[in-house]
Amino acid sequence: MNLRSLALAFAAGGLLAAAGLPAAAQGLRPSIQLAPTRPAAAPSAGPRAADYIVAVVNSEPITNNEVRTRMLRFEQQLAQQGSPMPPRQQLAREVLERLITEKAQLQLARESGVRADEALVDQAELSVARQNGVDVAELRRRMAADGINVTQFREDLRSQILLQRLRDRELEARAKVTDADIDAFLREQQQNGGDPALTELNLAHILVALPENPTPAQVQQAQAKAQAVQQRARAGEDFAKLARENSDAPGAAQSGGAVGVRTADRLPPLFMDAVKDLKDGGVSDVVRSGAGFHIVKVLERRQTGTAGMTVNQSHARHILLRPTPQLTEAQARARLLDYKKRVEAGQADFAQLARENSQDASARNGGDLGWSSPGMFVPEFEEVLNNLAPGQVADPIVSRFGVHLIQLLERRQSTLSAREQREVVRNLVRERKLDAAYVQWAQDVRGRAYVEYREPPQ
């Protein structure tokens, strides 16, 4: 895995991340973007030998190199997704505005006492490593080999965690969803013929990567390989086996190219165009992006909020400790890690520990959370849960609610009831409300900041 593919995999969670600059420029509420810092590519004309200040936000500077580094990330994401590239000057202005907004929000986070300790940054770094199918030691080795500053990368993670925690705290109360909201949304979808956010696609993917600035011979060779693989897939060969043997996508050797279920509005336009006319089991034509040549298979296409919808459900239990002035996050993690060791050694019962120690309503049931469908838990909790085998206990993780110790009990495939399907829609409406609330809140924070523009970025 070279620097380019590694960096692309970090950006908002991997190849199929839809969170690029255009969404941010429209004011959508961004998620944590796990993208590394690396030296920016030289612009096409007249770069300065020394860095310089392009803007000041409440006395804190933003430098030209910061803008250039962030531009590189977005250029990589857009190229990988097959999205059109905006003019460079326009991109520089939009990136600068985003950095100004982030700087103002980070200042507010620090002033408000929002913190992200080393344990939480460790958790985020581990998440990045898992997304790329490696452990943390291997992740750091590859970053160092590719010229990525690991210390700066961790500081980027810390900043993004601070931003997400601040946004969660500020916006949570503004996104309450009533039954009337759900009814209105469903009526709207019936009148408008459906919403891509209600269409779910379970995809698998093979990437034949191209190097940066490929020669015509390299392009021809990669395209020929992709076409040969595509023909084998259409002839009925096992797609997962083909992905493990041929795909250059991060983690393909472990996942067999499986991407997982995503709503249509969260997929890159390049992929949606490739599969729009395919039925379940269909294999796309070979399509090209800045990252290389792609082959996509539709494993399943389904409409949420409709009768007969089936999902994979998890039955889990947890122990929750809420940090206080007397119990730091690090201390809570250490206590839960001790619980895990005792459970795995057969020296303690998970349910009894939960009843005695968990600071959650589930404590009376031994931490039992019942059966859950995708989207019911916060992303950091759900990501860990999805990676567990039945009976396995995860290392402690931190969410907005506190520090959790999670055990997966069992999994099943289930057809959702009408009530459960309304909960799927409730989560979707809530996300829309959060997006709208973020736009107004971000504008308010930006409006209260003192911003001085210096020289334009190059």
Same domain for 90 and 69, yes or no, is yes
Q: Residues 221, 209: contact at Cβ < 8 Å?
A: no
Same domain for 212 and 358, yes or no, is no
In a 10 Å sphere around its CB, with 0-12 CB exposed, 13-18 middle and 19+ buried, how is residue 297 labelled? buried
Residue 84 is predicted with a pLDDT of 67
d(CA 15, CA 262): 13
**Token code pair at residue 97:** 């505005």
Q: Residues 119, 398: contact at Cβ < 8 Å?
A: yes
Residue 225 is predicted with a pLDDT of 94
Buried/exposed 410-439: b ≥16 CB within 10 Å, e otherwise = ebeeeebeeebbeebbbebbbbbbbbbbbe
CA 439: distance to chain centroid? 20
Tokens 């797609």 sit at which residue? 239
Name the DSSP class of 31: -
Instruction: Flag whether 368 is in a domain.
Output: yes
Same domain for 8 and 157, yes or no, is yes
Instruction: Flag whether 181 is in a domain.
Output: no
Same domain for 371 and 356, yes or no, is yes
Same domain for 7 and 143, yes or no, is yes
Instruction: Flag whether 76 is in a domain.
Output: yes
Q: Where are the beta strands (DSSP E) in 264-392?
A: 287-289, 292-303, 310-321, 368-372
Same domain for 152 and 225, yes or no, is no
Same domain for 323 and 389, yes or no, is yes
Same domain for 263 and 329, yes or no, is no
Q: Does residue 15 sit in helix, strand or coil?
A: coil
Residue 304 is predicted with a pLDDT of 58
Same domain for 290 and 355, yes or no, is no
Residue 12 is predicted with a pLDDT of 31
Q: What's the CATH number where 271 sits?
A: 3.10.50.40
Whole-model pTM: value is: 0.58
Q: What's the CATH number where 66 sits?
A: 1.10.4030.10
Same domain for 314 and 273, yes or no, is no
Instruction: Flag whether 224 is in a domain.
Output: yes
Residue 28 is predicted with a pLDDT of 37
Same domain for 369 and 401, yes or no, is yes
Instruction: Flag whether 62 is in a domain.
Output: yes
Instruction: Flag whether 68 is in a domain.
Output: yes
- The domain of 255 spans 192-303
List Cα–Cα distances, 91 to 70, 98, 110, 377, in angstroms: 10, 11, 28, 35
Same domain for 321 and 297, yes or no, is no
Distinct helix (H) and strand (E) counts, the chain:
16, 11
d(CA 413, CA 185): 27
Q: Does residue 198 sit in helix, strand or coil?
A: helix
Residue 298 forms beta bridges with which residues? 203
Instruction: Flag whether 148 is in a domain.
Output: yes
Number of domain units in the chain: 3
CA atoms within 13 A on the CB side of 164: 21
d(CA 439, CA 28): 6
Instruction: Flag whether 432 is in a domain.
Output: no
Domain boundary among 303, 322, 353: 303
d(CA 111, CA 170): 14
**AA letter at 76:** Q
Residue 394 is predicted with a pLDDT of 92
Find the helix packing angle between 136-145 and 118-131, rounded to 10°. Answer: 80
Nearest Cα to 316, choosing from 417, 399, 387?
A: 387
One pLDDT digit (tens) per residue for the chain, 458 residues: 333 333 333 333 332 222 222 333 233 344 443 333 333 343 444 444 578 999 999 999 999 999 998 888 788 766 655 566 778 888 899 999 999 999 999 999 999 988 888 888 888 888 788 766 678 888 898 888 877 788 888 988 899 889 988 988 888 888 888 889 888 887 776 665 555 556 778 888 898 988 878 899 999 999 999 999 999 999 999 998 998 899 888 767 777 888 777 777 667 777 888 888 888 889 999 998 878 899 999 888 776 555 456 778 899 999 999 888 788 888 898 999 999 999 999 999 999 999 999 998 899 999 999 998 877 888 788 888 988 999 999 999 888 788 999 999 999 888 777 777 787 788 778 888 888 888 889 999 999 999 999 988 88
d(CA 416, CA 79): 38
Residue 4 is predicted with a pLDDT of 30
Nearest Cα to 305, choosing from 382, 417, 193?
A: 417
Nearest Cα to 261, choosing from 180, 192, 202, 311?
A: 202
CA atoms within 13 A on the CB side of 240: 7
